[in-house]
């Protein structure tokens, strides 16, 4: 439902709940024209397995999902470019999804205070994760910062307990990869060499705006040299419009 407009959170939850057999839901930039309701009685579709959302106003929807009992057993969760105030609820939803969650994408586009986020995103409860995508995108009108979401990649990956992860995708702009300090690369390399990543078949790094065979690709291959030697590392440079 791209750019849907509803008078209130109650109306959108009523709309969603009117499809009790709904299994997949994608919301993009959903806006509410009036303040959200305080109480939402509508049940979440019991069969909901896949949720993809990207908006600055979906925090009420996350609260609705979390207050529903039981919380939907999501196997796919994609969180795209939400406000920083929504992160705690998003993290609670990740935790509540537990071992049913297999596919996870977290994409953020703002700078972080070091230590603010990566201590909150804990993937330890998601013991059956198979796909992880972490994506940082500095807005084109903003100046790059060394403290964007990219700096949280190694620590978030260190919380993984699943032995079933087969694919990891790391997306950031060119400056994001260069913001990683040597100890960040060392931590990430050490984590990816640990036993729970023995099933890893692919780690794809996508430096947006980097030149082919340029310094960013060289930096990435050097930082994740062991992954490169295993033949599982690929660096996919792409332009801002790709």
Lowest mean pLDDT among 54-58, 202-206, 234-238: 54-58
Model's pTM, two decimal places?
A: 0.87
Percent of the chain exceeding pLDDT 70 equals 76
Which two structure tokens, joined as six digits, stand for 135?
Answer: 């994506």
pLDDT score for 39: 53
How is domain 5-204 classified at the CATH fold level? 3.80.10
- Give 160's DSSP letter: -
Spell out the residues 6+ positions from residue 25 whose beta carbon is closer than 8 angstroms to its own.
Answer: 16, 45, 48, 50, 51, 52, 53
Spell out the residues 6+ positions from residue 170 whose beta carbon is closer than 8 angstroms to its own.
Answer: 133, 134, 135, 153, 203, 204, 205, 206
Residue 4 banded pLDDT, cuts 50, 70, 90: low
Q: Where are the domains of the chain?
A: 5-204
Mean local confidence (pLDDT), 77-101: 86
Nearest to 152, CA basis, from 167, 129, 166, 132: 132
How many Å apart are CA 203 and CA 220, to the nearest integer?
11
Percent of the chain exceeding pLDDT 90 equals 44
pLDDT score for 110: 60
- Cβ atoms within 10 Å of 84's Cβ, excluding its own: 13
Residue 109 has pLDDT above 80, yes or no: no
pLDDT in tens, 143-189: 444 456 788 899 899 999 999 999 999 998 888 888 889 999 999 99
How many Å apart are CA 155 and CA 119, to the nearest integer?
8
pLDDT score for 59: 64
Question: What mean pLDDT, rounded, does the chain reach?
Answer: 82
Nearest to 4, CA basis, from 42, 40, 33: 33
């Amino acid at each position: 439902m791209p750019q849907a407009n509803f008078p209130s959170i109650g109306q959108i939850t009523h709309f969603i709940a009117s499809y009790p057999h709904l299994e997949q839901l994608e919301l993009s930039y959903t806006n509410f024209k009036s303040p959200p309701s305080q109480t939402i009685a509508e049940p979440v579709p019991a069969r909901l397995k896949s949720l993809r959302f990207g908006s600055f106003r979906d925090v009420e929807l996350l609260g609705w999902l979390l207050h529903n009992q039981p919380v939907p057993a999501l196997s796919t969760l994609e969180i795209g470019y939400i406000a920083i105030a929504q992160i705690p609820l998003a993290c609670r939803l990740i935790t509540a999804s537990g071992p049913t969650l297999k596919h996870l994408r977290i994409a953020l586009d703002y700078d972080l205070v070091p230590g603010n986020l990566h201590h909150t995103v804990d993937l330890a409860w998601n013991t059956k994760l198979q796909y992880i995508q972490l994506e940082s995108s500095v807005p084109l009108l903003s100046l790059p910062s060394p403290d964007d979401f990219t700096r949280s990649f190694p620590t978030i990956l260190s919380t993984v307990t699943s032995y079933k992860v087969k694919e990891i995708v790391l997306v950031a702009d060119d400056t994001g990869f260069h913001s990683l300090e040597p100890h960040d690369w060392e931590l990430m390399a050490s984590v990816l060499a640990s036993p729970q990543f023995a099933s890893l078949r692919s780690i794809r790094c996508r430096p947006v705006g980097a030149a082919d065979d340029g310094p960013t690709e060289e930096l990435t291959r050097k930082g994740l040299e062991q992954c490169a030697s295993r033949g599982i590392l690929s660096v996919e440079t792409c332009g801002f419009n790709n």
